């Protein structure tokens, strides 16, 4: 990685597709919603392609694939949100290397924040249920800022909460939204090869680098942080 002269003090991490594989619970909630609406369900792999731009967009895309909106969007959104909240962490789990990576970051004194487009009513219980809450000095959800990713607001808010500058912050994500938001915030950004990219190749995201896992990222970032 070519990080130039920067000395990194903080790592800002996306949630869905970066820290946690949340697709099983999101797809399950979407299909429960469809069943309540009397519609056919969708394969999990198809629902995964709709993750990353917020719940309202996901519901819109799911409805479009199963007969259209038909004026049902608001009702469908309410169903989805209620069922997802009730089952937010049934099958969601950290990806391999996540815990080891977070431990390594913390051991090296890096400040950590979770930055997500997910609403706080889902984010906070999900982090708690999966044991990730204690790692983060700041959590910025989609409803905590005026503009969600790909705008820079959430990353800038997280850096401010941690007391670091954008130049001292490194973003780890999995999507074009993460890369665009990081660039707009003036932050370095790497991406993992797994997660939810809406069908884009990971090389097409335009990040500074692709890292195999969070554990691998922790080794690279802490090395750069130690030798600015």
For 23-86, give the CATH class: mainly alpha
Q: What is the pTM of this model?
A: 0.91
pLDDT at 3: 44
pLDDT at 100: 98
pLDDT at 126: 98
CA 65 from centroid of its chain's CA atoms: 24
Which residue out of 14, 144, 153, 208 is catalytically annotated?
14
Q: Give bridge partners of residue 20 from the DSSP assignment.
A: 16, 94
Residue with tokens 């335009």: 206
The answer on pLDDT for 2 being more than 90 is: no
Domain with CATH 1.10.150 in the chain: 23-86
What's the rounded Cα separation, in Å, for the pair 5 and 59?
Answer: 43
Q: What would the pLDDT profile of 134-161 be if each residue is shown by its tens digit?
A: 999 999 999 999 999 999 999 999 999 9
Q: What would the pLDDT profile of 27-36 be if each residue is shown by its tens digit?
A: 999 999 999 9
Handedness of CA 211, 214, 219, 223 (dihedral sign): positive
Domain with CATH 3.40.50.1000 in the chain: 10-21+92-226
Mean pLDDT, the chain, integer = 93
What's the rounded Cα separation, in Å, for the pair 120 and 162?
Answer: 18
pLDDT at 11: 98
Which CATH code, of 1.10.10.10, 3.40.50.1000, 1.20.1050.10, 1.10.357.10, is assigned to 10-21+92-226?
3.40.50.1000
Separation in Å, CA 120 to CA 32, 54, 85, 124, 203: 22, 12, 11, 6, 30
The answer on pLDDT for 116 being more than 60 is: yes
Name which of 41, 51, 48 is nearest 14 in CA terms: 51
Q: Active site includes 14?
A: yes
Average pLDDT for residues 188-198, to the nearest whole number?
93
The answer on pLDDT for 224 being more than 90 is: no
Q: Which two tokens stand for residue 210?
A: 């692709």
């Amino acid at each position: 990685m070519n990080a130039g002269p920067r000395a990194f003090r903080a790592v800002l991490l996306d949630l869905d597709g970066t820290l946690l594989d949340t697709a099983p619970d999101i797809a399950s909630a979407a299909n429960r919603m469809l069943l309540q609406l009397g519609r056919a369900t969708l394969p999990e792999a198809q629902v995964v392609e709709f993750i990353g731009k917020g719940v309202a967009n996901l519901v819109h895309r799911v409805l479009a694939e199963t007969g259209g909106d038909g004026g049902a969007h608001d009702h469908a959104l309410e169903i989805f949100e209620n069922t997802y909240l009730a089952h937010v962490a049934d099958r969601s789990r950290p990806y391999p290397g996540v815990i080891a990576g977070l431990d390594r970051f913390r051991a090296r004194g890096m400040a950590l924040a979770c930055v997500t487009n997910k609403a706080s009513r889902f984010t906070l219980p999900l982090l708690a249920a999966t044991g990730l809450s204690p790692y983060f000095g700041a959590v910025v959800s989609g409803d905590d800022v005026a503009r969600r990713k790909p705008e820079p607001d959430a990353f800038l808010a997280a850096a401010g909460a941690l007391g670091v500058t954008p130049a001292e912050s490194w973003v780890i994500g999995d999507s074009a939204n993460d890369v665009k938001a990081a660039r707009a915030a003036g932050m370095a950004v790497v991406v993992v090869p797994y997660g939810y990219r809406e069908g884009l190749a990971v090389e097409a995201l335009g990040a500074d680098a692709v890292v195999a896992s969070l554990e691998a990222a922790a080794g690279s970032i802490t090395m750069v942080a130690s030798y600015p």
